Amino acid sequence: MDQFHQQRQQPQCAKPIVWTIAGSDSGGGAGIQTDLATINDLSCFGCSVITALTAQNSVTVAKVDAVSQEMLLGQLNALAEDLAPSAIKIGLIANQKQLELIARWIKSFKCRSLAFKTIPIILDPVMVASSGDSLNSESELDFTPFKGLVDLITPNAHELIKLTQSNIDIDAQHGFYKASCWLSEYLDCHVLAKGGDTHGWQGDNAIDLFVCEAVLGVSEEHQFQRYWLTAPRVLTANNHGTGCTLSSAIAAFMAKGFVLHDAIVMAKAYVLKGLTYSVSYGKGAGPVAKTGWPSDISYYPKIAYYINNALLLDSALNHDAQANEFVRLQRDIGIYPVVDDIAMLAQLLQANCTTVQLRIKADSLVSSEQLERDIKQAIALGRQYNAQVFINDHWQLALKHDAFGVHLGQEDAILADLPALKSAGIALGLSSHSVFEILLANQLKPSYIALGHIFATTTKVMPSKPQGLEKLSIYAELLKHVCPTVAIGGINESVLAQIKHTGVDSAAVVRAVTTANEPASAYLKLHKQWLAPEFSPHRASDSPTDLVTRRPQLEEVCDE
């Protein structure tokens, strides 16, 4: 095991370390100062590599002095020996020599350490201060040495023009799109192109383009995509350090284990709220406020993307959201068994189970005729017992036989006739495996959103890692008073109390019921536990990120 990897074996209670490689802003509104403030505000530990000292305030940049090559290299090596990062943000680079040194150092260190290869690196190609003054000693930097070394680059419109060195009109939406895609291919990285400083096509919104290639831990349907991220434009002059705040927030969220898609939308929510609450301290633009963990979904962006070259704009973006909601649940779900057998489903309903899902996968050996008979019978049983019976995946048959509800994965929801299901008054449950997918699901205004997989599961192959209890508490808080939530994945009796304490509304169980000698009795025991007073959720005053949860031992977790 190499020295670097040994250093990364930190106690679970330790905050993840985030490096910021950037310039010092003596005015405190941007650069290293705002990077560290953001990183610490998001429960990470910040370390700095200073590239330049600036004499600036909120009005002007009076002087920029680049640090020497020796000092820059010394800072990088000193941190690497003792404070190994979980993520790195790169901001202001004072000159081409610095850029090439940093690129060489990153490449060398990636070769020396297997652990370093997986550390996300976010590049904010800072060229001009918010005041309009240049921060680089050279008119244009060549970022080609970073090709294949950084994971994400976050240019604004002005920087996008400089980086592409083309005559593409980025004030037109198609030109902005074309330039962003070109940059992604040119530097072999993902791109978050910030459109807030473009003119014309954005209107009252600030619209960014996320050019996404292959990403570990993300569903296939969310890779190799181009996403438009739309948020309302905040009319404030206090916008100093928005780019620094955004990029360092992305690095912080990734350091805490969130995938790139999540980190981007969470960082955008953080910046939007920061702009909303920003104040001025001098004669010029004030800095973005540091407002803590972004737990209010109203600050998160709306997401639109392309399928077969057609732009999908969800109805929630353009119409009254309440008018487009799927039917609401008739009662709280509580314990939610997921079964593949009609006889077992009938037993559970006879035991007064009020919500159950029939999940017969498309690749099962059941004939199409038998599948339809089972679904038809499940729907009839639901009516007989006045229960909420959801049909997994087979939305056409559910629609044909007037089911109470349908549960779909996000890949199936793209292909399903959702307007037909909504018009028929059929409830909709949607799966999600990340903050990004929660936002996509919530835009469809479903009847509930499933959050998972919380623990390891063997019932299906998952591209994402188990989410765990801390993330579950974050997801539940995000959807609180917005949409009913269901935790799913590896849940059994031994972890039920911990699941309830996160604040999630309900818990889906599979093997905890289906492999029991008496499934109905197993359900009743879990149902009784769920309703017990000592199973009450965490206090409303608790922050999801501060929630202390005992991580279950491996043998406690049901390997569904």
Domain ranges of the chain: 3-313, 322-556
How high is the pLDDT of residue 43? Answer: 97
How high is the pLDDT of residue 32? Answer: 98
Q: Which CATH architecture has domain 322-556?
A: Alpha-Beta Barrel (3.20)
pLDDT digits 0-9 by tens, 63-107: 999 999 999 999 999 999 999 999 999 999 999 999 999 999 999
How high is the pLDDT of residue 548? Answer: 34
What average pLDDT score do residues 358-372 get? Answer: 89
Calpha distance 424→72 (Å, rounded): 64
Q: Does the pLDDT at position 314 exceed 70? A: no
Where are any strands of DSSP class E within 233-272? none
**Among 168-177, 432-441, 537-546, which stretch is predicted with the lowest mean pLDDT?**
537-546
- To which H or E segment does residue 256 belong? none
What average pLDDT score do residues 38-47 get? Answer: 98
Number of other CB atoms surrounding residue 105 within 10 Å: 17
In the numeric block, which tokens belong to residue 453?
């997989």
- The whole model's pTM is what? 0.90
**What is the full DSSP assignment across 267-285?**
HHHHHHHHHHT---SSSSP
Q: Does the pLDDT at position 351 exceed 50? A: yes
Calpha distance 291→273 (Å, rounded): 7
Number of other CB atoms surrounding residue 205 within 10 Å: 18
547 pLDDT band (50/70/90 cuts)? very low
Summary mean pLDDT of the chain = 89
How high is the pLDDT of residue 115? Answer: 76
Calpha distance 242→251 (Å, rounded): 14
How high is the pLDDT of residue 167? Answer: 78
pLDDT digits 0-9 by tens, 212-249: 999 988 988 899 999 999 999 999 999 999 999 999 99
Q: What is the CATH number of domain 3-313?
A: 3.40.1190.20
Which whole-number Å values give the CA distances from 385 to 282, 375, 544, in the listed order?
Answer: 67, 16, 37
